[in-house]
Amino acid sequence: MSSTLDSFYDEVDEIDGVPVRELVVDVGPGRKITIFHASDADRQLEDALEDDSADPYSAVLWPASLAVARELPGLVSPDDYVFDLGAGTGLAALTAASLGANVTAYDHDPFSLRLIEEAARLQDLTVETIEFDLLSLEPLPPADLIILSDLFYDYDLADSLARRVVEQVRMGGRAIVGDPDRTATPAFLDYLAFCGVYGEYHTVSVDPPDESGYSIGIGIHVFGE
């Protein structure tokens, strides 16, 4: 794949008064997905300092999301139920929707969900969005596939997500995890191993969204049958 990004538009749009840009991402042969991301990361950081519910990092496209999105054509079938946990800009969720899945994007940041809603509307895709705290004990309904992209930067969050992966696998679902080897990754894997849940693993290289010219290795874990 010659380029991570098909195009980057100079024109700045706004969503809920926040400047955003469109990003068209090549996620596989014949498949391009448009996302929105914050055009002013500094402003997003300032807003997050004033509002605990805001997350400046959820409005940024991360390499793990690219890696996971490119794996989905081999995992998602039409009419599957797919949950993207900590969906961020929604690249994986939108990709799954483009493959015909019934998709729900979960994130604790309301602005992240608005980015996804507008990107889905632009491309005539259907993605349900739910504001959700991944640390909560609230159960999730069964899904054919759950998606986790670059979320193991906190031990409590890693443990909570491991519990959710175990629950989904025991209900007959699968989980795909994209991880650049964050600090809490070993804790996540240890929890799954303790519960007897093991998966397949391989690594992929992706170009970062800033087109800086170097590739980043992302670990891909797939759990469940």
Looking at residue 19, its pLDDT comes to 85
Would the pLDDT of 177 be above 90? yes
Query: CA-to-CA distance for 203 and 173, rounded, in angstroms?
Result: 22
Write down the mean pLDDT value for the chain. Answer: 87
Are 32 and 25 in contact, with CB atoms under 8 Å apart?
A: yes
User: Which positions ≥6 away from 172 have C-beta within 8 Å?
Assistant: 142, 224, 225
Looking at residue 59, its pLDDT comes to 77
Looking at residue 13, its pLDDT comes to 84
Highest mean pLDDT among 18-27, 166-175, 209-218: 166-175
Query: If you average pLDDT over residues 104-114, what whole number do you get?
Result: 94
Angle at 116 between CA 62 and CA 149, to 5 degrees: 30
Cross-strand partners of 130: 106
User: Which positions ≥6 away from 44 have C-beta within 8 Å?
Assistant: 18, 38, 54, 56, 59
Looking at residue 225, its pLDDT comes to 86
pLDDT tens-place string over residues 3-50: 444 444 445 588 888 889 899 999 999 999 999 988 765 454 445 435
Going along the chain from its start, the domains and CATH numbers come out as 5-223 (3.40.50.150)
Terminus-to-terminus CA distance in the chain, angstroms? 29
Query: CA-to-CA distance for 128 and 125, rounded, in angstroms?
Result: 10
User: Which positions ≥6 away from 208 have C-beta within 8 Å?
Assistant: 4, 63, 214, 215, 216
